[in-house]
């Protein structure tokens, strides 16, 4: 266990709430709790650190984790005066928080004490559950800090859990992703990492590399020893396969964690706002038959089959007559440049215009594109083949979708199709073995570095280079993977992981 001050913080979100929690962690946690907590029916309290005498009828005020009650004399000691309360591990108590200096009652509360190392931080931890809201929580926190605790830094509780061996760095980093998850898919991806599933696979790859390092060390010390070549190739191949499977799901994992930006573009009056409202399932954009109604980008977060999507409706791209409309068109172009996926919407009832061709010229073949032709219920003014000819790159006309937003049934079909395509874009190339999603850019970069070092080791071995040179690459790969779990991470890296945490977690 690390040597550190006792820390305290409000662990619930700011604002009004039925319950708020002040968390305390460190070797003074029980002592501080004993000085401010008073169970009901106490007959005497003479100031800080004094004993609490209990009435005979209040011997079942302690509630254990299984919901049963136990006599307080068994958890707080006997009715004889004692220097402090002896809180039972993981047992909840009802009572009041007081101001020790004045014996003033601050708030009604439930408190629980968790003995280290079997606690979240690995240290002694107590949690005080009082009424939510800024005033009562700040008063309790202020009292706790005056009795010897110091305010916790962002993520310090979880950082202590890592430093005390309760979590590895990958698990600790997943905690903030659990808190911030935007969709169920993001929640499950973070949950798997918090449970250690990513760490298990990283450690499996590291074990294979460690076996290889041991064999290389034997070859270096005993050059006459031979016979490790087959084992080397097999173990290196297995480690490489594990890393590549994790990398396959890295881009999808990033999107599941951070979201994907989807923008709808097209000339005015093609139905962009109608499609936006249909996908958003609410009337967020104004829909009229007048071109240029949408003059700025409208954005809304959506949960599309577990993928967080930031959907943008934009002004029709054309030469606007009004200055405000021109600005909206420029912002539409900016939205396209920032987008991960673009829905280019056309009007099948009108011939392809110069505006359609101008938009087509903006398209980047490297960006994910979904082409949809709206108003399929009306006579067609152009074919899919004619449309592909205005694109500056090859595009399979079979991938162009025709939709109609004329009624509820056709709109539901259009939305279902587009949602399926968007999800397919996100998870394109993710194999069955990559079902565990790597969600952090830092993890992806370290996996890519490890894969590169393994590839260089294979090339060096195939050229017949000395084992000392191969060992350098294998050790670099082993170290890179260790940075993910924290086993080879520097203090700067560890600090960076916890920078994005909130206070109280």
For residues 379 and 245, membership in a common domain is answered with: no
Asked whether residue 363 is domain-assigned, the answer is yes
Quick one: which of 255, 258, 208, 253 has its CA closest to 233?
208
Bigger pLDDT: 69 vs 261: 261
The pLDDT, as a whole number, for residue 492 is 85
User: Of 385, 402, 426, which residue is a domain's last?
Assistant: 426
- Of 3-12, 162-171, 270-279, the range with the highest mean pLDDT is 162-171
What pLDDT score does 314 carry? 74
What does the pLDDT read at residue 292?
A: 47
What per-residue confidence (pLDDT) applies to 228?
Answer: 56
Rounded to 5 degrees, what are φ and ψ at 304? Answer: -105, 100
The residues facing 108 across adjacent strands are 96
Based on the domain organization, do 274 and 355 belong to the same domain?
yes
Same domain, 134 and 26: yes
pLDDT at 44: 45
Query: How many domains in the chain?
Result: 3
pLDDT tier for residue 225 given thresholds of 50, 70 and 90: low
pLDDT of 120: 93
Provide the pLDDT for residue 366.
Answer: 87
The DSSP secondary-structure symbol of 390 reads: T
Q: Which of 426, 459, 480 is the last residue of a domain?
A: 426
Residue whose structure tokens are 């200055």: 323
Classify residue 203 as left (phi > 0), alpha (psi -120 to 50) or beta: alpha
Give the tens place of pLDDT for each residue, 394-450.
999 889 999 999 999 999 999 999 999 988 887 776 644 445 788 898 999 999 999
Residue 327 is predicted with a pLDDT of 54
Question: Would you say residue 8 has pLDDT above 60?
Answer: yes
Q: Does residue 504 belong to any structural domain of this protein?
A: no
One domain for residues 375 and 466: no
- Is residue 280 assigned to a domain? yes
d(CA 396, CA 12): 52
| Same domain (yes/no): 223, 242 | yes
Which pTM was predicted? Answer: 0.75
Percent of the chain with pLDDT over 70: 81
Within the chain, how many helices (H) and strands (E) appear?
A: 17, 15
Tokens of 338: 């920032």
Q: Which of 124-133, 222-231, 360-369, 440-449 has the lowest mean pLDDT?
A: 222-231
Give percent above pLDDT 90 in the chain.
40
- Local confidence band at 75 (pLDDT 50, 70, 90 cut-offs): very low
Q: Give the model's confidence band at 84: pLDDT under 50 very low, under 70 low, under 90 confident, else very high.
A: very low
208 shares its domain with 277 = no
Q: What is the rounded distance in angstroms from the CA atom of residue 372 to the CA atom of residue 401?
A: 5
Model confidence over 459-475: pLDDT tens digits? Answer: 988 888 888 899 999 99
Q: Is residue 503 part of a domain?
A: no
Last residue in a domain, options 381, 397, 426 = 426
Evaluate if residue 223 carries a pLDDT over 80: no
Amino acid 107: pLDDT: 93
User: Is pLDDT above 80 for 81?
Assistant: no
Given a cut of 60, whether residue 49 has pLDDT beyond it is: no
The mean per-residue pLDDT over the stretch 344-367 comes to 88
What pLDDT is stored for residue 328 in this prediction? 53
Reported as a single tens digit per residue, the pLDDT across 125-172 is 999 999 988 899 999 999 999 999 999 999 999 999 999 999 999 999
Do 332 and 402 fall within a single domain?
yes
> Which 3 state secondary structure label does DSSP give 190?
helix
Residue 277 sits in the same domain as residue 235: no
Instruction: Tell me the pLDDT tens digit for each residue of 371-383.
Output: 999 999 999 999 9
Give me the pLDDT at residue 226, please: 57
Judge whether 158 lies within some domain.
no
Does some domain include residue 167? no
d(CA 421, CA 376): 19
Please write the tens of the pLDDT for every residue from 61-72. Answer: 454 555 554 444
**Average pLDDT along the chain:** 82
User: What pLDDT is stored for residue 499 in this prediction?
Assistant: 78
* Residue 473 domain flag: yes
Residues 406 and 265 in one domain: yes
Range of the domain at 458: 174-249+435-498
């Amino acid at each position: 266990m690390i040597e550190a001050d006792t820390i305290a913080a409000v662990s619930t979100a700011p604002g009004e709430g039925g319950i708020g929690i002040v968390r305390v962690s460190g070797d003074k946690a029980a002592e501080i709790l004993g000085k401010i907590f008073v169970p009901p029916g106490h007959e005497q309290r003479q100031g800080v650190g004094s004993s609490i005498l209990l009435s005979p009828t209040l011997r079942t005020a302690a509630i254990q984790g299984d919901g049963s009650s136990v006599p307080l004399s068994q958890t707080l000691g006997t009715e004889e005066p004692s220097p402090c309360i002896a809180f039972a591990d993981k047992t909840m108590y009802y009572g009041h928080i007081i101001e020790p200096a004045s014996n003033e009652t601050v708030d009604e509360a439930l408190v629980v004490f968790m003995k280290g190392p079997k606690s979240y931080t690995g240290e002694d931890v107590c949690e005080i559950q009082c009424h939510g809201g800024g005033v009562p929580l700040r008063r309790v926190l202020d009292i706790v800090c005056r009795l010897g605790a110091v305010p916790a830094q962002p993520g310090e509780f979880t950082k202590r859990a890592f430093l005390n061996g309760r979590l590895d760095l990958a698990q600790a980093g997943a905690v903030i992703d659990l808190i911030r998850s935007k969709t169920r898919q993001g929640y499950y991806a973070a949950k798997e990492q918090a449970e250690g599933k990513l760490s298990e696979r990283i450690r499996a790859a590291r074990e294979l590399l460690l076996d290889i390092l041991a064999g290389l060390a034997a070859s270096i010390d005993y050059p006459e020893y031979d016979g490790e070549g087959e084992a080397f190739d097999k173990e290196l191949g297995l480690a490489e396969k594990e890393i590549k499977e994790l990398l396959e799901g890295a881009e999808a994992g990033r999107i599941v964690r951070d979201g994907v930006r989807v923008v709808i573009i097209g000339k005015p009056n093609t139905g962009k706002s109608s499609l936006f409202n249909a996908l958003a399932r609410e009337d967020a954009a104004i829909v009229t038959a007048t071109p240029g109604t949408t003059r700025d980008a409208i954005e809304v977060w959506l949960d599309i089959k577990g993928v967080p999507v930031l959907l943008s409706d934009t002004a029709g791209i054309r030469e606007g007559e009004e200055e405000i409309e021109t600005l909206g068109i420029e912002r539409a172009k900016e939205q396209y440049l920032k987008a991960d996926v673009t829905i280019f919407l056309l009007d099948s009832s009108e011939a392809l215009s110069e505006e359609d061709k101008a938009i087509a010229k903006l398209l980047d073949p490297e960006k994910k594109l979904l082409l949809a032709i709206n108003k399929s219920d009306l006579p067609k003014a152009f074919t899919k083949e004619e449309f592909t000819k205005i694109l500056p790159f090859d595009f399979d006309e079979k991938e162009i979708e025709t939709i109609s937003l004329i009624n509820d049934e056709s709109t539901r079909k259009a939305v279902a199709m587009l949602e399926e395509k968007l999800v397919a874009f996100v998870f394109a190339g993710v194999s069955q073995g990559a079902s565990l999603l790597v969600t952090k850019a830092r993890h992806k970069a370290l996996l890519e570095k490890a894969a590169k070092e393994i590839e260089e080791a294979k090339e060096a071995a195939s050229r017949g280079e000395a084992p000392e040179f191969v060992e350098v690459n294998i050790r670099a790969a082993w170290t890179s993977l260790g940075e993910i779990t924290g086993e080879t991470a520097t203090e700067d890296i560890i600090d960076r992981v916890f920078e994005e945490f909130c206070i109280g977690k």
